[in-house]
Amino acid sequence: KPKLCANTSFCLDLLRNLSEDNNTANIFFSPFSISAVMAMVMMGARGDTATQISESICRENVCLSPCKSSSLVCLQCLKTQDCQGEVYTLFAKLVSVLNQPGAAFALNVANRLYGEKSYSFLQVRECEHASLESVDFRNRSEEARIKINSWVEEQTRGGSCTLMPGSCDKINMTRMILLNAIYFKGTWDEPFKLWDTQESEFKINKVKMKTEIQMMNSILEKPYKGKEMSMLIFLPDKIEDDTTGLEKLEKLLTYEKFMEWTHPDKMERQYVEVRLPRFKIEQNYDMRKTLISMGMEDAFDETKCDLSGMSGNKELFLSEVFHKAFVEVNEEGTEAAIVSGTAINLCSRETPFFCANHPFLFFIRHNPTMSILFAGRFCSPE
């Protein structure tokens, strides 16, 4: 079956951008969630606004096409504004694939649009995965905020439930909010044994260490139960000087290198002993600055933004894009919740012992579609 990658370049670009402000910070986000919510924006975008969004979220220089030999969806690159409806259709189909009942893991993806009830919106293309609901942002902003957070809490099963805090004083000026929520919980195909968990040293850099971090001991590879989902861990060979050891890896990690290193022909299925820290990461991101730096300038510029496919009012533009993310990795597996508004082998050598006792990158991938749903960087126990 054809297996093509979805939004891998977008994922790596986001990782680099989020790393710029602090190259030693823990990072966790969902490239799929962010690109899905921007695909909803693209549905109503026109002209340069649509072109900039499409060129930013789809960068692989390949055509969009569903897999002919199966029901799987292969999200590929979009370079022409004319295909923006097809992009959203394919995102919707991928959501259907990810939400398949009876899977060995829990994965839920949901989209929702909230529009100011007094505002005039054009008929948005109907899709079972993205309904438009009217709310009163202008006069009943607190009620709207609670309603949105309740939907988020429901979709993420209790996680990420305060996407819009009580201090969100601009909500009465809001005309539309676009949300994508994704929740994942998977148990390891080969769980770590709880009694093997012990305190061990975690090296933040060559001169700084934290010793009170629990390390798990087991056997490599780390697919989740059912093997449709896997965690890929990219671990530098060593730490140099006062850096985390990830700087060179992050610069080297292009789309081509990622696909080469994770290609089945480059990876051997073998048993190795693995040590992986238990960890939790919770992050809140305002993606406005990041998305602008990646080429989506017009969408956030009220003088240039063209969302005429959503509304005849020319004043509509993006003010903020929220992204809230949570992940927990332990002996049993991984739990991750995300909300957006608006076998390991790096260098083809045998690795009989894999000890993640210093900073690493990790990716959670849906193997049938080769889609990177989550990505992160673990630099320091908190």
Tens of pLDDT, residues 236-259: 766 555 555 677 778 888 888 888
Q: According to the model, what pLDDT value does residue 382 have?
A: 64
Q: According to the model, what pLDDT value does residue 277 have?
A: 72
Query: pLDDT-based confidence at 47, cuts 50/70/90?
Result: very high
Which residue would you say has higher pLDDT here, 69 or 226?
A: 226
Find out if CATH 3.30.497.10 is the number for domain 8-187+281-327: yes
Which residue would you say has higher pLDDT here, 353 or 91?
A: 91
Report the distance separating Cα 78 and Cα 89, nearest Å.
13
Tens of pLDDT, residues 267-279: 677 766 667 777 7
Contact 115, 175 (CB under 8 A): yes
Q: Is the pLDDT of residue 80 over 50?
A: no
Q: What is the mean pLDDT of residues 315-342?
A: 72
Which residue would you say has higher pLDDT here, 343 or 254?
A: 254
Query: pLDDT-based confidence at 73, cuts 50/70/90?
Result: very low
pTM (predicted TM-score): 0.77
Report the distance separating Cα 201 and Cα 356, nearest Å.
10
Q: What is the mean pLDDT of residues 22-28?
A: 83
Q: Is the pLDDT of residue 105 over 90?
A: no
Query: pLDDT-based confidence at 119, cuts 50/70/90?
Result: confident
Q: According to the model, what pLDDT value does residue 113 have?
A: 78
| CB-based contacts of 146, cutoff 8 Å, min separation 6 | none
351: its two tokens: 């690795």
Dihedral sign of CA atoms 275, 17, 298, 74 in order: negative
Helix (H) or strand (E) holding 248: helix 247-252
Most confident of 79-93, 175-189, 240-254, 341-355: 175-189
Q: What is the dihedral angle through the alpha carbons of 240, 245, 249, 250, rounded to the nearest 10 degrees?
A: -130
Residue 126: cis peptide before it, omega within 30 degrees of 0: no
Closest CA to 103 of 6, 228, 190, 223: 228
Q: According to the model, what pLDDT value does residue 292 have?
A: 93
Query: E-assigned strands of the chain?
Result: 27-29, 106-116, 130-135, 176-187, 198-205, 208-219, 229-234, 273-277, 279-286, 322-329, 333-341, 353-355, 360-366, 371-378
Report the distance separating Cα 314 and Cα 197, nearest Å.
58
Return mean pLDDT, the chain: 70
For residue 356, the tally of other CB atoms under 10 A from its CB is: 20
Q: How far is CA 347 from CA 172, 234, 267, in A?
A: 53, 11, 10
Contact 357, 201 (CB under 8 A): yes
Report the distance separating Cα 232 and Cα 182, nearest Å.
19
Q: What is the DSSP string of 151-182?
A: HHHHHTTTSS--SS-TT-TTGGG--EEEEEEE
Q: What is the mean pLDDT of residues 15-20?
A: 88
Which residue would you say has higher pLDDT here, 308 or 108?
A: 308
Query: pLDDT-based confidence at 70, cuts 50/70/90?
Result: very low
Q: According to the model, what pLDDT value does residue 297 have?
A: 94
Q: According to the model, what pLDDT value does residue 163 have?
A: 65
Closest CA to 244 of 282, 280, 209: 209
Residue extents of the structural domains in the chain: 8-187+281-327, 194-278+343-378
Query: pLDDT-based confidence at 36, cuts 50/70/90?
Result: confident
Among 73-77, 202-206, 285-289, 347-351, which is the least confidently predicted range? 73-77
State the CATH class of domain 194-278+343-378. mainly beta
Q: What is the mean pLDDT of residues 197-207?
A: 50
Q: Is the pLDDT of residue 48 over 70?
A: yes
Tens of pLDDT, residues 165-194: 555 566 777 777 777 777 777 777 766 655
Contact 235, 252 (CB under 8 A): no
Report the distance separating Cα 286 and Cα 340, nearest Å.
10
Q: How far is CA 364 from CA 120, 308, 371, 373, in A?
A: 40, 36, 9, 6
